Amino acid sequence: MEPVLKREKQAFASFLFFTFLTLILFAPAIENIAYLATLNLDNVITFLCLIGIILFQLKQPKALMTQEYIIIGLMLIIIILGLFGNMASGIRGTSFIILDIWSISKCFVAYFFGRLAFQEGFFTSQTDRLVLYAKWVIGILFLLLLVNLAYPIWPSTEFRFGIRTQYLLFPHATYLSATVFFCMLFLGLKNVRYHIPFLLMGSTLIFFAARNKGLIFIAIYFFMLLFQYYAKKKSFKISYLILPGVALIAMFWEVIDTRLLSSTTSARSLLYQGAFKIADMYAPFGAGFASFGSGSSVKNYSSLYDTLRFYDYYGFTRENPQYLNDSYVAMFLAQFGYIGVVCFGLIIMLFLLMINRRSGSTQAFTLVLFLYAITSLFTELYLTTSLGIITFFLIGISFGNEKTKPALGKDALWKKPFH
């Protein structure tokens, strides 16, 4: 009787996992259907995850790692900073503030759901199913691409890199790129050399999505393949990323400076310049929730946009606010100030340290997912979207896959020898 009950639990966990994965991965496509646009699937599912965390912890509580408790504490500090910022800036609206708090918290809810809701070893047990799932998704999307190229069922008027941008089922090409990227990551979990045709299909899909980030995703993916080969013998040390990271920033500093900092015509650069001004105006707390760069600040059309005369710029007006929430980092800087950015930097460091303690395919998978998230923070409200939710859910379930949770102790990132 006990083995039967165990199999039933495993079957339910597998169903729950793939249902979550599919709904979140295709939430933008589902909401792209007119009569389903108001579903807000990512918010509904994340709220159910929060309820799930509470129920699972009441029924069979699991201990968290020390670093995870610190992350929760840092998030509480950020929320308090935001509330102080609201008092300083005079921006009110309880519903907008609550929505913003939920917005920055839901990816962490997904992370802890992945960590706590599944038994040790569950993620490893799903590897074969994940590979098959990825093949089906990439294969179907590739067939839809071929059909759409021959007969534009999902027409697009946008051109990039000299080709017509493909959205297919999704409202934006970024979601198409990201969906394919996640599936390519799943293919890398096992015997990747047998999946080369599907990897080529995925690369073709990302190419036709024609996003700059898509090219970065492909580069990160092939980095993961090389890393997985390397990780068969020893674990990868996060400190190895410091020199390449510094070198890349130095090589592309002119592009970074022009597009993000000093341009007077780039929408994203204007967003960052506004964020720095607000952080200085309302130092040290920032301007608080629903004040700048977030979804709530756009719905409410924050008074700070008038103060900064953003109504003079295309894409920043009340009637056309499409560029106002185009960067998570700019939003965070303006709303929570320099102290909030430091707290968020510490959260990033804690995740890197936890990843640093893993090895093999678990470390490869979580590292690339995390790098993917970090590279997206500068160009979109990544962590507040379905993409942030699924990224942190997968990181959480990967961490929870291990039977023993490593302690950092004195084995710090910067003290590891280069050997």
Q: Is 247 helix (H, G, I), strand (E, B) or coil?
A: helix
Alpha helix ranges (H) inside 60-194:
66-89, 94-116, 122-125, 127-150, 173-187
**Secondary structure element (H or E) that encloses residue 159, with its range:** strand 159-160
* Position 311 pLDDT exceeds 90: no
Give the largest Cα separation in the chain, rounded: 70
Can you read off the two tokens belonging to residue 100?
Answer: 């913003």
Q: Please state the pTM of the whole predicted model.
A: 0.88
- C-alpha Rg value of the chain to the nearest Å: 22
136's CB contacts (< 8 A; 6+ apart) are none
User: Residue 280 class from Cβ within 10 Å (0-12 exposed, 13-18 middle, 19+ buried)?
Assistant: exposed
Distance, in Å, from the CA atom of 113 to the CA atom of 59, rounded to the nearest integer, reads 14
Q: Residue 316 domain-assigned?
A: no
How many structural domains is the chain composed of? 1
**325 against 198, higher pLDDT:** 198
Give me the mean pLDDT over the 265-277 stretch.
85
Q: What is the dihedral of CA 35, 157, 207, 270, to 10 degrees?
A: -90
Q: Residue 300 domain-assigned?
A: no
Q: What is the dihedral of CA 401, 26, 345, 259, to 10 degrees?
A: 150
Say how many C-beta atoms besides its own lie within 10 A of residue 374's C-beta: 14
Give the confidence band of 244 by pLDDT, cuts at 50, 70, 90. Answer: low
Q: Residue 148 domain-assigned?
A: yes
What is the b/e burial string over 243-271, where b = at least 16 CB atoms within 10 angstroms of the residue's CB? eeeeeeeeeeeeeeeebbeeeeebbbbbb
Q: Residue 286 domain-assigned?
A: no
Q: What is the DSSP string of 264-303?
A: SS-HHHHHHHHHHHHHHHTTTT-S-TTSSSSHHHHHTT-H
Q: Which domain holds residue 12?
A: 2-250+340-415
Per-residue pLDDT of 108-144, as tens digits, reads 999 999 999 888 889 988 999 999 999 999 999 999 9
Distance, in Å, from the CA atom of 394 to the CA atom of 282, rounded to the nearest integer, reads 36
Per-residue pLDDT of 198-242, as tens digits, reads 989 998 999 888 877 777 767 777 766 676 566 555 566 766 677
Q: What is the DSSP string of 345-366?
A: HHHHHHHHHHHHT--HHHHHHH
Per-residue pLDDT of 82-92, as tens digits, reads 999 999 999 98
Distance, in Å, from the CA atom of 149 to the CA atom of 25, rounded to the nearest integer, reads 23
Beta bridge partner(s), residue 163: 160
User: Residue 1 class from Cβ within 10 Å (0-12 exposed, 13-18 middle, 19+ buried)?
Assistant: exposed
Q: Residue 64 domain-assigned?
A: yes
Q: Residue 367 domain-assigned?
A: yes
Q: Residue 9 domain-assigned?
A: yes
Q: Residue 140 domain-assigned?
A: yes
